[in-house]
Amino acid sequence: MQFILLIFCIVALVDCKLKVLRPSQLVDRLGSKVNIALANFGEIPFGHRYMGNVDMAYPNDGCDSLMPTNGSQFIMIERGNCTFVTKVRNAQNAGYTLAIIGNNYDYPLESDFVMADDGHGYAINIPSIFITSQDFNVIKEFVLKYQVSNSLEEQVFVLVKFDVKKRDDVDVILHLEVSNRDSYRVIDEFQEYYDLLKNEKVNYTLLYSIFNSNNTQSDYSIDESNCICQRRYCAMDPDGEGIGTGRNIIEEAIRQTCIFKHFPLQYFQYMNKFNFECSKAQAYSTCGSKIITNLGIQDDEIVKCRDESFKDPFNHKTATNLNNSYNAILEHQLLLQEKSGAIGLPSVVVNSVVYKGQLTGKGIFGEICNSFNLPPSVCREEVENYYKFEINGDGDNYLFLIIFIVSILIAIFMLVLYFLFKKFVQKDSVQVTQVQVNEMISQYIKFYEGKEQKKQNSF
């Protein structure tokens, strides 16, 4: 039985998104798993599994307030007539812990589909998932059947797993944009969790949003003033008609990357001050320099980092002629940007899983914590069944405990043996006569001398 359970767990961990657990006829109809998409609002419990009974919204579109739940955790709502956020908010207000939104027309689930925020998603804290109309209608059929029969055996009970990729070392990509205020909010919120995790194996990469004008040339020609390195790296003009340029943005992106690389703790303070004090792109350079000086960051270190990031395309050494160079920092960021699959800005990618849901410092921390094979103890609150990892993670302590217990048992055993022996000797000695004692002693001496001789021989 345990073996079967174990197999089920492994499959569920790797594969499972939504799995129907009851009733068995529904399991037969849907197969072992149902693919789901997530939303970019709400708090998504990465690495956790939710289990619950399923209700059907009435009316099905869930656009008006819903009846409070009478014990069920999940509710099914059909797409259409209002935004996803409205539906999920109604589900949340009715006391549900998860909303299952079904498509309202037959279409396969695309891997990059995300239920989008309508701008009011910040007030949502329950997660929501999206499934195809086909799956939705099958589940709906069974939920309605249960409503009629009211027999517990027919109640629909499902498991939803919010997957992460687990590794020993966690890779985190923070995808930001220099002139995007939300990027600074996320960095500000994440600071305390960065501090908590600073001794753990987390590999952070900053990724500032830039583009290569070659890719967009077919649409329009971007002004040279928004680019560096002969249009190899460009950023959108931040203020249209104003004097600020994409080049200001790019230069600031290089500087922020360098600060993070060399002074990671001060980076967070820098970002906080920059957000409040530097609003005009054309003044980023002087404004940023002032903050660097005030924070006591060694500016020459940052200047050196920037200068050395420009490379000669032929020998890959530090470039002398900037006109004909590439930038190692930006080149790396461009490459990652293509691969990261991030949606919108800012965004976060943990072990190549794009963070979905409302982007908060705590949310990012939760996803990082759950992406460790063995989460560190600072993650205790974020990880389901944390105690399991504690036993595995502190394996050495566990071993010491075993050795300690075994030693104590041996000590007790020896003590008992000693007392038994003592008792035995006392009992015996009463019967032993002086003659016998003398005989024993002389025998012992003989034996001892013999042993002594043997010892000498062996040399």
Contact region with ligand NAG (CB under 6 A), list: 38-46, 58-66, 83-91, 285-293: 58-66
Site for ligand NAG in 318-337 (CB under 6 A): 321, 323, 336
Contact region with ligand NAG (CB under 6 A), list: 76-84, 155-163, 285-293, 414-422: 76-84
Contact region with ligand NAG (CB under 6 A), list: 77-85, 135-143, 280-288, 441-449: 77-85
The one among 155, 183, 209, 212 contacting ligand NAG by CB under 6 A: 212
433 contacts ligand NAG (rule: CB under 6 A):
no
70 contacts ligand NAG (rule: CB under 6 A):
yes
Contact region with ligand NAG (CB under 6 A), list: 55-63, 306-314, 373-381, 434-442: 55-63
Rounded Cα distance between 31 and 159, Å, is 13
The one among 6, 21, 59, 264 contacting ligand NAG by CB under 6 A: 59
203 contacts ligand NAG (rule: CB under 6 A):
yes
390 contacts ligand NAG (rule: CB under 6 A):
no
Q: What is the CA radius of gyration of the chain?
A: 34
Q: Which is nearer to ligand NAG, 62 or 244 (CB)?
A: 62
Q: Which is nearer to ligand NAG, 337 or 358 (CB)?
A: 337
- 181-196 vs 361-370: helix crossing angle, rounded to 10: 50
Look at the block and give the residue holding tokens 């006591």: 296
Rounded Cα distance between 403 and 34, Å, is 48
Q: Which is nearer to ligand NAG, 51 or 63 (CB)?
A: 63
Q: Which is nearer to ligand NAG, 272 or 318 (CB)?
A: 318
Rounded Cα distance between 184 and 291, Å, is 15
Six token digits for residue 339? 């691969």
According to DSSP, the residues that pair with 52 across neighbouring strands are 158
Q: Which is nearer to ligand NAG, 199 or 323 (CB)?
A: 323
> Total number of residues binding ligand NAG (CB under 6 A)?
18
In 3D space, the residue among 48, 67, 49 whose CA is nearest the CA of residue 57 turns out to be: 67
According to DSSP, the residues that pair with 128 across neighbouring strands are 99
In angstroms, give the least distance from the CB of 171 to ligand NAG: 5
43 contacts ligand NAG (rule: CB under 6 A):
no
Q: Which is nearer to ligand NAG, 100 or 287 (CB)?
A: 100
Site for ligand NAG in 347-366 (CB under 6 A): none
81 contacts ligand NAG (rule: CB under 6 A):
yes
Contact region with ligand NAG (CB under 6 A), list: 19-27, 74-82, 276-284, 295-303: 74-82
Per-residue burial over 63-95, b = 16 or more CB atoms within 10 Å of its CB, e = otherwise: beebeebeebbbbbbbbeebbbbbbbbbbbebb
80 contacts ligand NAG (rule: CB under 6 A):
yes
> Which chain residues interact with ligand NAG by CB under 6 A?
59-61, 70-71, 78, 80-81, 171, 173, 203, 205, 212, 214, 232, 321, 323, 336
